[in-house]
Amino acid sequence: MAKLLVIAFDEADAQSSAGFAKALGLPYDVLLLTGDFVPAGAEQMMRVNLGSIPAADGLGKALVDVVGGYSHIASPSSMQSKDVLAYLAGLLDAGMVTDAIAVVSPTEFKRPIYAGAMTATVKTDSDPLVITFRPSNFGKVEGGANGSETSVSLNIEGTAIILSESSRGTSRPDLSQAKIVVSGGRPLKTAEMFESVIGAFADSLGAAVGATRAAVDSGIAPNELQVGQTGKVVAPDLYIAAGISGSTQHMAGIKDSKVIVAINTDANAPIFDAADLGIVGDLYQVLPELQGLLKQ
């Protein structure tokens, strides 16, 4: 019998699993690596309670012992899931579909190509089949779980070692599910400046914070905030891009936003071609002015 296992790296992953499972049309279980959320409709909830996510080689090997018997193994798209699930697919000698945005059938999916400029329909008879999917394309399913809950232990042994980790505790909305997202680019120059300008403005709106790949690569923002083809794909009601030129890679991650507001000093920046509202100006002046207006 065909059945789906969703590997949820955190509570946000678990929350978005029901929408994909509903679209796939298969019964499903959830393996929750960290966190405590119980998704709607899962037949079985398996909690691992890891303190942190291990390196891909050790986690991938450990997951082999858990995924047996499932026809489909999936996780919401992220840098982390693509790393671990690709490793797992290799160990299973299984086919893999990445960044699924629609389900045609349990063996056929739609996914973006050419940085989102086109959509490909891919079909595979791989059993098992490994999938990463974009949560924003499948929506939420309300309600609590009606299945059983168990605890699972993973025997994690790998050669890769994580030397250090940094985490920013925050009460901000999850980036992939937020209704409003405020993102910043490399002009912010430092992590402190990014937080004091972009973070403060986002907090005034109750918004999530995002960043460009250039900002992440420069150490201005952490990896988990990266928005774009190689980061998180978002579809908020309002996306505010401050100091972002609009690279093809970044635009692929925001094209489904309902309203895009761009702030840039360069009137010829590509992002203005996609923006619903454009402000040619210095973000250091524009954002504080907008924040002041919001307080009135």
**DSSP secondary structure string for all residues of 256-296:** T-SEEEEEES-TT-THHHH-SEEEES-HHHHHHHHHHHHH-
Neighbouring CB atoms inside 10 A of 248's CB total: 13
pLDDT tens digit sequence for 85-106: 999 999 999 999 999 999 999 9
Is domain 4-151 in CATH 3.40.50.620, yes or no? yes
For residues 184, 286, 247, 76, the Cα torsion angle rounded to the nearest 10 degrees is: 40
Residue range(s) of every CATH 3.40.50.620 domain in the chain? 4-151
pLDDT tens digit sequence for 238-250: 999 999 999 998 9
- pLDDT for position 14: 87
Question: Measured between alpha carbons, how far is 54 from 58 in angstroms, rounded to an integer?
Answer: 7
Is domain 180-295 in CATH 3.90.45.10, yes or no? no
Q: Nearest-CA neighbor of 276 among 261, 266, 295?
A: 261
Q: What are the CA-CA distances from residue 135 to residues 20, 177, 181 (Å)? A: 7, 8, 16
- Report percent pLDDT > 70 for the chain: 95
Q: pLDDT at residue 165 above 70?
A: no
Say if residues 40 and 14 touch (Cβ distance below 8 Å): no
- pLDDT for position 296: 67
- pLDDT for position 35: 84
Residue range(s) of every CATH 3.40.50.1220 domain in the chain? 180-295
